Amino acid sequence: MKTRNTLQKNIILEQARRLHHPTAEEVYEAVFQVHPSISRATVYRNLKRLSEEGAISHVRLPDGADRFDSMTQKHYHIRCTECGRVFDVDMPYFSGLEDKIADKHGFDVNGHDITFVGLCPDCKIKKKRGQ
């Protein structure tokens, strides 16, 4: 099946790129501002297609809704336990990590993900203020 170039798809890509690790819902809200007849299903479908086509990447985290990222190279993420926001981690990617475990388990290891959790700078300040 060849994929088409629709108005909706373009706006969704634009907003997914403009926002910072948005969830599908956040993309929906942004697209809604400029194209109010958009439906959530269209946003979900296009985010899926766009990541299959490699225009964005689909970030699945161990908690909460999936997010989308304009940075398509492999890298790690950190999630704030307080506000839930997600940031890129500036740490080199462990390209050799898979090989270290393959033999021990008999798995064909295809990839890995590292997710850090912690308290982001903004939430640290809010917490300090609160007490």
Partner DNA sequence: ATTTATGCAAATCATTTGCACATAG
Partner DNA sequence: CTATGTGCAAATGATTTGCATAAAT
Summarize as ranges the residues that interact with a second copy (CB under 8 A). Answer: 60-63, 78, 80-81, 87, 89-91, 97-98, 100-102, 104-121, 124
Contact by Cβ (8 Å): 17, 56: yes
Measured on CA atoms in the order 41, 28, 16, 11, is the torsion positive or negative?
Answer: positive
Structure tokens at 85: 């926001």
Structure tokens at 131: 């007490």
Contact footprint for DNA (CB under 7 A)? 1-9, 23-25, 35, 37-42, 44-46, 48-49, 64-66
Using the minimum distance from each CB to DNA, give the nearer residue, 1 or 95: 1
Using the minimum distance from each CB to a second copy, give the nearer residue, 40 or 112: 112
Residue 62's binding partner among a second copy, DNA, none (Cβ under 5 to 8 angstroms by kind) is a second copy
Contact by Cβ (8 Å): 43, 28: yes
Using the minimum distance from each CB to DNA, give the nearer residue, 81 or 101: 81
Give the nearest distance from C-beta 50 to a second copy in angstroms.
19
Give the nearest distance from C-beta 93 to a second copy in angstroms.
12
80 is in an annotated binding site: yes
Work out the end-to-end distance of the chain between its first and last CA atoms, rounded to an integer number of angstroms.
Answer: 57
Contact by Cβ (8 Å): 42, 18: no
User: Which residues, in sequence order, are CB contacts of 105 under 8 Å at separation 6+?
Assistant: none
Residue 48's binding partner among DNA, a second copy, none (Cβ under 5 to 8 angstroms by kind) is DNA
120 is in an annotated binding site: yes
